[in-house]
Amino acid sequence: MAGNRKTMKRWYLLAALVLLLDRVSKFWVTENFSLGDQWAIWPVFSLVRWHNKGAAFSFLNDAGGWQTGLFIVLAIAFSVFIVREIYLLKHDEHFSGFTYAMVLGGALGNLWGRISEGYVVDFILLHYQTYYFPAFNLADSALFVGACGWIVLIFQDYKNKPAIQNNGTGNG
């Protein structure tokens, strides 16, 4: 049975909050930084303005443009799947709801940029001396948190499933 309205509303609102924070932060960066600008905050943390037409870690960033359409289609399909998963949650599945909300909010945040600008604005840059982690944004952070949560859920599900018994045929 599908979850109640209050349960669904909570997780959809959290996803909307993630989307809002992502859009506001990207707006602030685009209003205050030119493309390629970098502002060192701490020795290991900078704000930048970079545009990413690819996926995580700039995967397929220089693929010629076809990847944008692919990532838009994937994000829409995945978001529809997550909306359905939230709808099916039981009232007490808080960790699942949080996980799905993070994934949905992050996916919609990057989808918005891909549709409206054709790229995603990345602005968080972690580095140490000459080592740089690829720049990312709040939507990416939410997706990462959601992906980690999803891994935990998969392990919990695996752990909680009863072992399949040998059915006596020798095939088991």
Which sequence positions are flagged as catalytic? 122, 140
* Alpha helical stretches, state H, the chain: 5-32, 66-88, 94-116, 138-160
The end-to-end CA distance of the chain, in Å, is 32
- N residues, the chain: 172
Q: Which residues contact 167 (CB under 8 A, 6 or more apart)?
A: none
